[in-house]
Structure 1
Amino acid sequence: MTDELLVVRAQLGERGALAELLARWRMPVWTYVRRMLDADRADDVSQEIWLAVVRGLPRLREPGRFVPWLFTIARRSVTDRLRDEYAQAEETSAFGDIAGEGIAEDPAEVMVERAALVSVLSALPVLEREILVLFYLEDLPVEVCAHVCQVPAGTVKSRLNRARRLLRESLEEKGHTS
């Protein structure tokens, strides 16, 4: 069953359709939010997102645009959380060094390298991190990224280019070479 059909059925009051949408999109949304925030905040923000989805779903005029609409809500929720935290201006985080070289074979090393990559991603400016997450990690096309971020497709492409450059520079600084 397509997302569009599930949305229409959910708008008509079918709870099973809403539950299926939630089951289908819960992890991708949480993963997106987790890549933008830490795990504790990701849980809270994800709940806020799904509350907004349940409240707003009856007003969604184009059921076929559910995924961009969903990620727009997710982006707005993440942005609001970050804005609130930056307004408090008391938190600055330090990022650990990346340990190890090359491709890890050991599962523990893989976890360390993944944590290091998350650390490097976290150090990127929010706009560039967001584009990398949406495009590469959520596999959204440029056009959907543009819709979610409310910018032209050309801006998405330039942010992707800048984000890749910043990521490469950061990894090189930490001792990883391409």
Structure 2
Amino acid sequence: MQIEDIWPKYRARLKAFLHSRVSNAADVDDLLQEISVKVFTGLPDLKDPARLQPWLFQTADRTIIDYYRKSGRAQAHPDDLWYHRDNPETRQDLEGCVEPFIRGLPAETADMLMAIDINGMSQRDYAQAHGLSYSTLKSRVQKGRAELRTAFEDCCNISMDVRGNISDVQEKSANCKKC
């Protein structure tokens, strides 16, 4: 495994992951670069290629925790952070399903969600590139995400914990093969 083969495949997803947890876009770019260095140095120690994706996102997760520790923005212990409590296996299982479900939405909605949620484009940049007001785009993203959730719920029973994190997913029927 070489970083030149891995980084192009996961960069956008890692950036979207960072955007969901860090509000400042400049900090996201800095953290992404820090993660790339960690991946470059740690990749030779990864023995099982099947564990690559969980390892990448665990590296990103730890980098975010370190970021909040350094900046003094987190008063809680890292184990108490809301995003640190989700089940990594469940998240990994669902990640492969998100894109097919998005592609099942109307084309305009699918393109928007792919650009913002999968490829990590900021909502402001997307709105500007498509000649939309930022508030209009925010409403469309919210509506698109609601449609995506409905698509998931039509095919899957999704169990949530008290904080709204996904704790388990069960397919409703064998007829639903979107992922």
Q: Which has the higher strand share?
A: 2
TM-score, normalised via structure 1 length: 0.45
TM-score, normalised via structure 2 length: 0.45
